[in-house]
Structure 1
């Protein structure tokens, strides 16, 4: 049964990446043919060239019609964040933030995406997942491959009007399919190999492209389709995009795929693991040791690191504290700001979240190749 995911955190993060605090940019009014009324279109403004402007219509931000629809409730929140943020990064390589304006997906409805994510059957002929097999054996049954679909629309501005000029669609493919043999019985799992993830993902992508081209508005725009391999529910990191295809105007068949070599790690690594960079591991270990030696009231210091083509492309550090005093939080944040600049790698963006059981206490961030971390301390009133 299809369920909707509550993406509060993800929506907030996307909003931060897209919206600006400046004044909105008014565009021309569009006449609604069905009601005869006029709809006013505005832009959110832009904080800097690294983020897209967003679209506001009739005083409301254009939310996605299909966001959050999944085959099953996602228990690994890292998959959700990695899927949305990674897709946005792929889009930036094809649709410049200086030339294009972001609009949440408006061409795939919730109902349509729900049907596509279902298994193919007499009652659901458009299902992109294979027909259900009679077998319930984890090794012989037919698993569900496609788990999520995310649509992103990219607009260009001509004078005071906007037109759709590009689209990116992300397809999340399961690496593990979880299922029940009986309605209230235990959960079983079917492992899906990398070869199967790639093979079925590409087959599904071709079907999606053909269906998109059948829509009049999408016939002659470039469409990017990217494939994301979901991590298992018990993974401490999210999945990763492994390939994408740029399909020029009118193309209804994918002829070329471009590989993305990404892998995620959790620091400190387990003894059985080997990371791609001993220098990065040592840098994090020194940072962790330094902070824990000066501030003993820490429950844990961990990091999620992503590598693209063997190089560090991002790191998210989580520090869990037992601080209750505001002065302790201020002093600790100031100290780790200095320690992070001293020890952590300088060639990748890094976010540091300091939190306790009561919530986030402070947040530090630095872009790639910048020296200083910006910091914000959350006051409790």
Structure 2
């Protein structure tokens, strides 16, 4: 018998998002002593400060960063960390289209509690009338059963400052839709799967989005703010890349149903491409192959050189390169990182943000990064003392 289990994904993964928001924070800004736009706390409210206009400032209350009330709640599936990272980071990028980092302050979701999100992610039933996933069917056939469509919900709140006060002025909701639903026919039996078509993912995701928007508007604090809803197609558990967002909608004050969707044309690839696989740009694939060849020729003690590349509307919008080494001495790591810095500048695709992580079984050894439209890579070597 199929069983849907709700879990909290290991919270350490959420450090990725928190790090983006709080990395290298500057001075902390003080607000009024009794400000709390989403609660009744009378503690002191502060902002994290902002060192880069590409990042949002975060909210600190009572000396602690405001964590989400429902972070990590998900329908149990086989773990794919790439899905989690892509979902959170991609949702931030969509939010920036509506809520400028120069004007708005980011606050982790405070309106959807763990209990509510668990109920919404469950199947609809007599005991769970608010479930957004379909009722459980009697059939256990992969093609005849009712699959689980909605897998994750993420809430982001956006505030503005007026004097020394913060007020809620917008919200973004991310809905992660399965491309594959994994299930068991008996409690301890083997795992089966139902593959979902793009048409199912699109139609069911948009239907769920309408229900979510209508429910949010029932909260008087959320009636008159813009609410962005974004749809994410999760990759399968065995995928070497994460999923991708395929649509989003900006819903103005008071609207209770989505009347317009904006299409997002994103696709992820793993480099080097397999022999029978075609990418959107052969030049990018060749550039990475040349980079990999040069690196492995000069430094043979490498376990692997791979990359995850994301394309939007056919253009490269980001690449994460992972290099696994068998280096042990600090001098080897320094020499290798310096060579990577020059080789990446020479061979890897230009005009796209690229991160390069060099690591061994003992952890990260060095990190290189280049923003879009920059020529040189900056590098940091992790010293072991």
TM range (shorter): over 0.9
- In structure 2, the residue matched to 1:362 is 366
Find 1:224's aligned residue among 216, 223, 228. Answer: 228
Counterpart-to-counterpart distance in 2, 1:36 and 1:312: 45
Structure 1: which 4+ aligned runs deviate by more than 6 Å?
Answer: none
Q: What does the per-residue CA deviation read over 1:311-331, in whole Å, with 9 as the maximum and x for residues that have no partner?
A: 000000000101011110010
**Contact between 1:5 and 1:73, CA under 8 Å: does it hold in 2?**
no
- In structure 2, the residue matched to 1:300 is 304
Q: What does the per-residue CA deviation read over 1:342-369, in whole Å, with 9 as the maximum and x for residues that have no partner?
A: 1111111000000111111111111001
Unaligned runs of 5+ in 1: none
- In structure 2, the residue matched to 1:92 is 96
**Contact between 2:77 and 2:182, CA under 8 Å: does it hold in 1?**
no
Find 1:155's aligned residue among 159, 170, 176. Answer: 159
SS at match of 1:334: helix
Deviation at 1:12, TM superposition (A): 2.3
Find 1:346's aligned residue among 350, 375, 378. Answer: 350
Unaligned runs of 5+ in 2: none
- In structure 2, the residue matched to 1:175 is 179
Equivalences for residues 1-381 of structure 1 within 5 A: 1-8=5-12, 10-19=13-22, 20-30=24-34, 38-381=42-385
Deviation at 1:379, TM superposition (A): 1.3
Q: What does the per-residue CA deviation read over 1:32-63, in whole Å, with 9 as the maximum and x for residues that have no partner?
A: 89x99721100000011100000000000000
**Contact between 1:103 and 1:152, CA under 8 Å: does it hold in 2?**
yes
Deviation at 1:183, TM superposition (A): 0.7
Counterpart-to-counterpart distance in 2, 1:44 and 1:356: 33
Under a length normalisation based on structure 2, what TM-score does the superposition of the two structures give? 0.96
**Contact between 1:224 and 1:244, CA under 8 Å: does it hold in 2?**
yes
Number of matched residues?
Answer: 379
Superposition RMSD on alpha carbons, in Å? 1.4
Structure of greater relative contact order (alpha carbons < 8 Å, 6+ residues apart): 2
Counterpart-to-counterpart distance in 2, 1:151 and 1:15: 14
SS at match of 1:38: coil
SS at match of 1:30: coil
Q: What does the per-residue CA deviation read over 1:129-180, in whole Å, with 9 as the maximum and x for residues that have no partner?
A: 0000000011110000000000000000000000000000000000000001
Q: What does the per-residue CA deviation read over 1:228-258, in whole Å, with 9 as the maximum and x for residues that have no partner?
A: 0000000000000000000001111100000
Counterpart-to-counterpart distance in 1, 2:25 and 2:260: 40
SS at match of 1:351: strand
**Contact between 2:319 and 2:355, CA under 8 Å: does it hold in 1?**
yes
